[in-house]
A = this chain, B = another copy of it.
Amino acid sequence: MTSAHSTAEPTRPLVPVLAVVGVGLIGGSFAAALRASGAVGKVLGVGRNAASLATARTLGIIDEAVSLERAGQEADLIFLATPVGAIATALGALKASLRPSTLITDAGSTKVNVVAAAREALGQSIGQFIPGHPIAGAEKTGPEAADPQLYRHRNVVLTPLEENKAADKVALTRIWERCGARVISMEPEAHDAALASVSHVPHFLSSVFMWQVATAQDSDLRMTLAGSGFRDFTRIAAGSPEVWRDIFLTNRPAILAELQEVKAALERAELALQGGDGQELQDFLERAALARRFWGSRSGLS
């Protein structure tokens, strides 16, 4: 990637030409953050939705809407911000036009599956792909939601491959840091297990719960009496069904394993409730409350 050497030429931005595939919240915010920090020259946008591309251009998030082929020919860095199920297709379409100096990364919420799909799609060019996952909000969608501050103080996980060049890993780390993010490197399997726990399982439980309330005979009455606790607990259940179906399917083993752990904990708490064991109930509630309060005070997220 040429941009890794660009610090020697102050007139040249860190990423001369950026291509963002998917110009919604995640892709648009990445482009906006790099532009705001002066780290990018030209931004190309790729997407299936012509209206989103037009909006992104009007908002100044991208300079030009192009095909995947042109992105492969012209970009120094390609950022794949599509649902995980569409990453393999995008990589397959990029392969033919890809220059050897182009670096590719992604924002997919699962990594083991994305790495396998990338190996198959890119073949010998796999070294040009550094898998990534910025852990940043996705309640709002579309280019209108793009925010140059989205990644500030957020964690970005990279799961580099053996084939990645050291200079490219350094460059991508620097690029994310220009967005205000903190970069953490780990194995794809460790990423997927941790995310199954703190992201995928909560989404699964929130959606199951929401489904159960919505399909109850007296759901109208229930929802009339729902307050701010319900609001917070079910907020993630409003997320995109397609995006989350893909995440669940691509991280299935880790999610199923984690669900067993949660169900075991639920069984234990339920037994305490059945037995009217106030002390055990309070002990588990206290442990949970203290852990949540500590996390809240450290995460900068609440």
Contact = CB atoms under 8 A, between A and B. Distances in A.
A223 interface: yes
Contact of A214 (B135, B136, B256, B291): B291
A96 interface: no
Interface string A266-297: 10011001101010011011111101110110
What is the count of identical protomers in the complex? 2
B293 A238 contact: yes
A166 interface: no
A235 B232 contact: yes
A69 to B, nearest CB: 29
A235 B301 CA distance: 11
A203 B293 CA distance: 15
A249 B278 contact: yes
A124 interface: no
B241 A289 contact: yes
B208 A229 contact: no
Which of A136, A157, A285 gathers the greatest number of chain B CB atoms within 10 Å?
A285
A265 B155 contact: no
A285 to B, nearest CB: 4
Interface stretch (A47-55, A56-64, A169-177, A192-200): A192-200
A137 B228 contact: yes
Contacts of A223: 198, 291, 295, 299
A236 B245 contact: no
A7 interface: no
A225 B214 CA distance: 31
Interface of A: 135-139, 154-155, 157, 184, 190-191, 194-195, 197-199, 201-216, 218-219, 221-242, 244-245, 248-249, 252, 255-256, 259, 261-263, 265-266, 269-270, 273-274, 276, 278, 281-282, 284-289, 291-293, 295-296, 299, 301-302
